[in-house]
Amino acid sequence: MNLNFPWHLYLMAAMYIFAGVMHFIKPKAYLRIMPRYLPRHKLLVILSGVAEIALGIGLCFPATKDLSIYGIISMLAAFLLVHFYMLSGEKASAGIPKWILILRIPLQFGLMYWAWWYLRI
């Protein structure tokens, strides 16, 4: 761990680690929002959880920080498929109000920018 990194980079790391752990604590929540056109939903939920945990941990070390940032940006771009799918209908929305689903899309881009910003450190 690099103690010269800013605290908010560790906040980001904790956020992704927490999100990844939630894939294992509440897998049904993630299974409900998987687009029908993607195969093997259970495996994809597990893999995305593992990826979030690994990328979050990778943010904490100088040797893996930049690779983790590129991984996070790629992962967030891929997750846009899920966000757009959730806008496709009432069942796909998992009961989340449409206005929240719409706000999540620019939030994804904000999270990508937040990750990209740390490439300069």
Res 2 pLDDT > 80: no
Residues 6 or more apart from 34 whose CB is under 8 A from it?
Answer: 41, 44, 45, 82
d(CA 11, CA 105): 21
DSSP, res 56: H
| pLDDT per residue as tens digits for the range 81-113 | 999 999 998 888 888 999 999 999 999 999 999
Q: Would the CA dihedral through 67, 119, 84, 95 be positive or negative?
A: positive
Q: Quick one: pLDDT band at residue 45, thresholds 50, 70, 90?
A: very high
- The structure's pTM equals 0.90
User: What average pLDDT does this structure show over 21-47?
Assistant: 94
pLDDT value for 91: 84
**Residue the block writes with tokens 């893999």:** 47
Q: Quick one: pLDDT band at residue 3, thresholds 50, 70, 90?
A: low
Question: What share of the chain has pLDDT > 90, as a percent?
Answer: 81
